[in-house]
C-alpha cells in the first residue's frame, strides 16, 4: 500500500487526505496544533460561508492575477462539487440573499464533526502536536518536532503540504514553512496581509465619536487603480475595514508599494450621479447648517457627514456642484495596511512557476502544495475556502497519478 503524508490540518489538507484515502492510500495528517481545523472552525463560528453561486467568469475574476491558474482547478472541484460534498456529510447547503453559500446548520462545527468521522472511517491517521521543521540533510525525509521536543522523521511515498499562509498565527498558520522552502531554492513571494483593514490618521474628534460606526452602502475606489467596490465599511479607531476595503486590497498594496499616497475615494451615494446630487443640493434652506443640508438634501447620516468634514479639515464646501463631486469621491488617505496577524488571509506564497499543473513542486518530485501556501488571494465571500478545497483536490489527484506512475520513487 502506498503511503502519503499531508502536512497541515486545514481544509486544503483534509480534503487532500480524503481524496487519497478513498483511493486506498495510507494517509497520515501531521498538524502542529493540538487539533485540526482551528481556523476553519473559527471562521465558521458566526456562519460558514463555504462558497458562492456567482457564474464562472465573475467568480474567476475574484482571484485576480491567479485566475488563469485556478480556473482548471475550479473545473475539477467547483462550487457545485463542494455543495454536493457538504450534502454527503449530512449538511445540505442553502444560498443567502447575496449569493453566498452556507451549510444548513450555518456554523462550521456540525459539518466538521461529520468530516472528521468520515476521515476516521477511511483510515486517515491524524497526528497532532507535530511541527514540520524541514527536510533531513541526507535523504530528504520529512522532519517533525513532536510535543516532547523529540525529532520524528518520515519517508512517505508522496507528500502534500497545506500549511496555510501567515494570518491568524495563534490558530496555526504562522508562515514558518517559508524558510525551509526558500532554503531548498523554491521561489516564495513574500507573505502579506490580505482581507485586512487599513490605517488612516483620523483626528481624535472623529475617531472618538465614530469608532465602530458603519459606512453603509458606499463605493470604494483606490485612486488611479482598480474599479469601484460596493458594500458596507466600518470606521475603526485607527482606520477603516470591511468587505469593500478587503476587496480593494491588491490595489491598496500596489499604491502603497509605489511610494506615493494611497487614496481611497469613498462614494457616499453610489446610486446617484454627480448631476443628480448637485440638483438636490441646490435646494438648500437659508438657515440650514452644513450637516442639516447634507442630511435633508441627499440623505447622508452623521458618520458620512463627518467623513466629508474630516476630508476638508473640518470645513465643508458650500457650492452644490463642488459638494456633489466631493460626496462622490471623499478622499481618505491610507498610510498602511493592518498587521498580517490581524488579516483574514494572506497574499503571496509559493510562486506558480514552482509547481506544475498538478501542483507538484518541480524541484521535488512527489511533493505537492495546496491552499494558501500558493501565491493567490481572493476576497471574502466563499472564494477563499473554495480555492482551498479545489487546490487540495487537485494536489491529491496529482499525488495519486504520481504514485501510480512507474518511476515514482519514495521521498527520501
Mean pLDDT for 255-280 is 94
Confidence check: pLDDT of 186 > 80:
yes
Confidence check: pLDDT of 409 > 70:
no
The CATH number corresponding to 3-193+343-404 among 3.30.930.10, 3.40.50.360, 3.30.470.10, 3.50.50.60 equals: 3.50.50.60
Confidence check: pLDDT of 69 > 80:
yes
Four-point Cα dihedral 73, 77, 79, 80, nearest 10: 150
Among 24, 39, 85, 54, residue whose Cα is nearest residue 393: 85
Mean pLDDT for 4-8 is 98
pLDDT in tens, 10-31: 999 999 999 999 999 999 999 9
Ordered DSSP codes for 137-161? TTT--EEEE-TTS-EEEE--SEEEE
Query: What residue spans define the domains of the chain?
Result: 3-193+343-404, 198-337
Q: What pLDDT score was predicted for residue 101?
A: 97
- Per-residue cell: 94: 442553502
Confidence of residue 412 (pLDDT cuts 50, 70, 90): very low
CA distance 229 to 178: 32
Is residue 47 within 8 A of residue 104, CB to CB? The reply is no
Q: What pLDDT score was predicted for residue 206?
A: 96
**In which order are the strands placed within the sheet that holds 3-7?**
125-128, 26-31, 3-7, 158-161, 367-369
Q: What pLDDT score was predicted for residue 22?
A: 97
Mean pLDDT for 154-170 is 93
**Mean per-residue pLDDT over the chain, rounded:** 94
Of the candidate ranges 25-29, 138-142, 305-309, 371-375, the one whose mean pLDDT is the lowest:
138-142
Q: What pLDDT score was predicted for residue 139?
A: 64
pLDDT in tens, 197-215: 999 999 999 999 999 999 9
CA distance 133 to 145: 7
Confidence check: pLDDT of 408 > 70:
no
Percentage of the chain lying above the pLDDT 90 cut: 87
Q: What is the 3-state secondary structure (H, E, C) of 30-60?
A: EECCCCCCHHHHHHCCCCCCCEECCCHHHHH
Confidence check: pLDDT of 410 > 70:
no
Is residue 12 within 8 A of residue 385, CB to CB? The reply is no
pLDDT in tens, 79-114: 999 999 999 999 999 999 889 999 999 999 999 999
Mean pLDDT for 396-401 is 97
CA distance 337 to 241: 10
Contact partners, residue 41, CB within 8 Å, separation at least 6: 108, 109, 112
Confidence of residue 405 (pLDDT cuts 50, 70, 90): confident
Q: What pLDDT score was predicted for residue 406?
A: 61
Is residue 338 within 8 A of residue 155, CB to CB? The reply is no
Distance, first Cα to last Cα, the chain: 17
Amino acid at each position: 500500500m502506498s503511503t502519503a503524508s499531508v502536512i497541515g490540518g486545514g481544509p486544503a489538507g483534509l480534503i487532500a487526505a480524503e481524496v487519497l484515502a478513498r483511493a486506498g492510500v495510507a494517509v497520515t495528517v501531521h498538524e502542529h496544533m493540538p487539533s485540526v481545523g482551528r481556523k476553519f472552525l473559527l471562521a465558521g463560528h458566526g456562519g460558514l460561508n463555504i462558497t458562492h453561486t456567482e457564474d464562472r467568469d465573475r467568480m474567476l475574476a475574484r482571484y485576480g492575477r491567479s485566475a488563469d491558474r485556478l480556473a482548471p482547478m475550479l473545473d475539477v472541484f467547483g462550487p457545485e462539487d463542494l455543495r454536493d460534498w457538504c450534502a454527503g456529510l449530512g449538511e445540505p447547503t442553502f444560498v443567502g440573499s447575496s449569493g453566498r453559500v452556507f451549510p444548513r446548520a450555518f456554523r462550521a462545527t456540525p459539518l466538521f464533526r461529520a468530516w472528521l468521522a468520515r476521515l476516521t472511517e477511511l483510515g486517515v491517521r491524524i497526528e497532532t502536536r507535530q511541527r514540520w521543521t524541514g527536510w533531513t540533510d541526507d535523504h530528504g525525509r520529512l522532519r517533525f518536532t513532536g510535543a516532547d521536543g523529540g525529532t520524528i522523521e518520515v519517508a512517505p511515498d508522496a507528500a502534500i503540504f497545506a500549511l496555510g499562509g501567515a494570518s491568524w498565527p495563534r490558530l496555526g498558520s504562522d508562515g514558518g514553512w517559508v524558510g525551509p522552502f526558500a532554503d531548498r531554492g523554491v521561489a516564495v513571494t513574500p507573505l502579506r496581509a490580505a482581507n485586512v483593514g487599513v490605517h488612516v490618521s483620523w483626528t481624535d474628534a472623529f475617531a472618538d465619536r465614530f469608532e465602530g460606526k458603519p459606512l453603509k452602502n458606499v463605493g470604494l475606489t483606490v485612486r488611479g487603480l482598480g474599479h469601484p467596490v460596493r458594500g458596507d465599511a466600518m470606521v475603526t479607531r485607527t482606520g477603516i475595514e470591511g468587505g469593500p476595503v478587503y476587496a480593494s486590497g491588491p490595489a491598496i498594496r500596489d499604491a502603497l508599494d509605489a511610494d506615493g499616497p494611497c487614496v481611497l475615494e469613498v462614494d457616499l451615494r453610489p446610486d446617484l450621479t454627480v448631476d443628480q446630487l448637485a440638483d438636490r443640493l441646490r435646494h438648500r434652506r437659508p438657515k440650514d447648517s452644513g450637516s442639516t443640508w447634507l442630511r435633508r438634501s441627499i440623505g447622508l447620516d452623521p458618520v458620512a457627514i463627518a467623513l466629508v468634514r474630516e476630508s476638508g479639515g473640518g470645513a465643508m464646501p458650500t457650492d452644490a456642484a463642488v459638494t456633489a463631486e466631493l460626496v462622490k469621491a471623499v478622499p481618505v488617505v491610507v498610510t498602511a495596511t493592518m498587521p498580517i496577524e490581524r488579516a483574514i488571509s494572506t497574499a503571496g506564497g509559493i510562486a506558480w512557476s514552482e509547481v506544475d499543473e498538478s501542483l507538484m513542486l518541480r524541484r521535488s518530485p512527489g511533493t505537492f502544495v495546496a491552499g494558501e501556501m500558493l501565491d493567490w488571494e481572493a476576497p471574502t465571500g466563499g472564494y477563499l475556502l473554495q480555492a482551498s478545497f479545489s487546490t487540495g483536490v487537485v494536489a491529491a489527484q496529482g499525488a495519486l497519478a504520481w504514485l501510480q506512475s512507474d518511476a515514482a520513487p519514495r521521498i527520501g
